[in-house]
Amino acid sequence: MTAFLTIIVLVFITVAIWQMVKIFDLAQVNKDNSQVANDKDNRINGYLMLGFLAFIYGITIVCFVKWGDLPLMSNAASEHGVKIDNLMIISMILIFIVQTITQFLLHYFAFKYKGEKGRKALFYTDNDKLEFIWTIIPTIVLAGLIIYGLFTWTEIMDINEDDDPLVIELYAQQFNWKARYGGADNTLGKANVRLIDINRANILGLDESDPNAQDDIITTELHLPVGRTVLFKMRSQDVLHSAYMPHFRAQMNCVPGMITQFGFTPTVTTVEMRQTPEMIDKVANINRIRVEKSKKLIKKGEEPLERYEFDYLLLCNKICGKSHYNMQMKIIVETQEEYDAWIKTQKVFKNSLIN
């Protein structure tokens, strides 16, 4: 209904604009009708340029004030996430400064030098010094950003297996995720989609003869002990997927036929994250919205929405088919003790097979 009303409003506005133009046209019938801008057009559009500059600044301010705290620019929940956030903030500040200055110059010049009959423009073809300046300054600034960025990138992507990371396989299929833990030996057993045997519940295609596979644990929730480096090995059984964990600043594609990897160290448990003031605000806001929505749903005779509680999520972020929009897995970061207790309750591979 909202959509329909919007369309009607749009149609009316179009008609209104149309009528305005007609009046405008009729008013100038006897005047200059060459359809080339005259001094009056230059003046009006010159002022509109200033107005547009104000609009750009305005929308920037509104966006930062209203939605600037929504972005996950702070409170990263992983060790390397803080580094990404710092780099992001530095880049944003830089962009913000350049954007503010260049948009000002562009629109201000468009206003200041709006055409007038009889004025002559300055014949000014070239200035090597000026051009040198605006070549060399971006070069220096970018060199700095490139070096900073590359150091950060190398640190993030350099996964040192000597640190004894917890190895977890993320397994993607249309349209859900599985996680596989190495078990007591922290080593994943061999696997290939050709070994999948649905009848025996070997859903990830583990090699039943591989001793390392026997104690592997397959789960539908991802539990991570806080402070321990995790190395994810990613697989997909059908199409491309992408494991996106925005709170941890982590993302890597899952590619059929190869194993990709990404590692990070979670630093904030789910419980701790729920208690940060930002998260309490955000969740309260979301629940306000959900209560409003539920009221409408109840009126229509449908089920109200559940109350939202924060959880880390793993999302699919590479188009993968019809239900791409709903391919998710809950991530729980907890203390080592909680993690140990949870993993004990999970079935190991050899016991999960149906014979």
Partner 1 sequence: MSEHADSHEGHEHHHKETFVTKYIFSQDHKMIAKQYLITGIIMGVIGVIMSMMMRMQIAWPEEPNVIFEALLGRWAPDGVMDADIYLALVTIHGTIMVFFVLTAGLSGTFSNLLIPLQIGARDMASGFLNMLSYWIFFLSSVIMVFSLFVEAGPAASGWTIYPPLSALPLAQSGSGMGMTLWLVSMAIFIAASLLASLNYIVTIINLRTKGMSMTRLPLTIWAFFITAIIGVVSFPVLLSAALLLIMDRSFGTSFFLSDIFIQGEVLHYQGGSPVLFEHLFWFLGHPEVYIVILPAMGIVSEVIATNSRKPIFGYRAMIAAILAIAFLSTIVWGHHMFISGMNPFLGSVFTFTTLLIAIPSAIKAFNWITTLWKGNLQLNPAMLFSIGLVSTFLTGGLTGIILGDSALDINVHDTYFVIAHFHLVMGISALYGMFAGIYHWYPKMFGRMLNKNLGYIHFWVTAICAYGVFFPMHFIGMAGLPRRYYTNSNFPLFDDLQDVNVIITIFALFGGVVQLVFLWNFFYSIFYGKKTVQNPWRSTTLEWTAPIKHIHGNWEGKIPHVYRWPYDYSKPGHDEDFVPQNVPLKEGEEELQH
- Rounded distance between C-alpha atoms, residue 341 and residue 354, angstroms: 25
Q: How far is the CB of 151 from partner 1 (least distance, A)?
A: 9
8: three-class secondary structure by DSSP: helix
For 95, phi then psi, to 5°, come to -60, -45
- Told to check if 49 binds partner 1 by CB under 8 A, we report yes
CA angle, corner 85, sides to 81 and 91, nearest 5? 145
- Interacting residue with partner 1 among 79, 210, 308, 353 (CB under 8 A): 308
161-169, 212-220, 225-233, 279-287 -> range binding partner 1 (CB under 8 A) = 279-287
Closer to partner 1 by Cβ: residue 112 or 340:
112
Residue 137 CA from chain centroid, whole number = 30
H or E, element range at 244: strand 241-245
Residue with tokens 């605006």: 134
- Interacting residue with partner 1 among 31, 36, 351, 355 (CB under 8 A): 36
Q: Which of residues 223-262 bind partner 1 (CB under 8 A)?
A: 234, 237-240, 242, 244, 246-247, 249-253, 255-258, 260
181-189, 221-229, 300-308, 341-349 -> range binding partner 1 (CB under 8 A) = 300-308
- Told to check if 107 binds partner 1 by CB under 8 A, we report yes
Q: Which of residues 200-219 bind partner 1 (CB under 8 A)?
A: 205
- Told to check if 315 binds partner 1 by CB under 8 A, we report yes
- Told to check if 174 binds partner 1 by CB under 8 A, we report yes
302: three-class secondary structure by DSSP: coil
- Rounded distance between C-alpha atoms, residue 188 and residue 212, angstroms: 6
Q: What single DSSP character describes residue 222?
A: E
- Told to check if 89 binds partner 1 by CB under 8 A, we report no
Q: How far is the CB of 271 from partner 1 (least distance, A)?
A: 17
| Upper half-sphere CA count for residue 273 (Cβ side, 13 Å) | 26
- Told to check if 4 binds partner 1 by CB under 8 A, we report yes
- Told to check if 12 binds partner 1 by CB under 8 A, we report no
- Told to check if 282 binds partner 1 by CB under 8 A, we report yes
DSSP 36-84: S--HHHHHHHHHHHHHHHHHHHHHHHHHHHHHTTSSTTS--SBHHHHHH
- Told to check if 72 binds partner 1 by CB under 8 A, we report yes
Q: What single DSSP character describes residue 158?
A: -
Q: How far is the CB of 267 from partner 1 (least distance, A)?
A: 16
Q: Which of residues 117-146 bind partner 1 (CB under 8 A)?
A: 119-127, 130-131, 134-135, 138-139, 142, 145-146
